[in-house]
Amino acid sequence: MQAGTKVEHKIDEDEDTGPVDGPTFVKKPQNLTALDGESAKIEFKVKCDTMPAIKFLKGKKEIKANNKVNVQTTPSVINL
């Protein structure tokens, strides 16, 4: 990203949280705006019997952990 690039994360309030038997949000991610170079943390909690595979996408490209991006998961808390 170029210096001064604005990064936004928005949640669609009508977003489907999955099938009734599947994972459900206990704490939904919040809208987030950060400038390039600023730290940002997206956290949410899910309730599920089995932890599903979690992927973060920017457009169609997957965001993977690296020296600038830290992805943490516990049995019910996911941080990006």
How do residues 21-50 score in pLDDT, each as one tens digit? 677 888 888 888 888 888 888 888 888 777
Task: Look at phi and psi of residue 43 and say left if phi exceeds 0, alpha if psi is from -120 to 50, else beta.
Answer: beta
**Residue 46, burial from CB neighbour count under 10 angstroms (0-12, 13-18, 19+):** buried
Average pLDDT over the chain, rounded to whole? 75
Report the percent of the chain where pLDDT is more than 90: 0
pTM of the model: 0.53
Gap between the Cα atoms of 77 and 47, Å rounded: 9
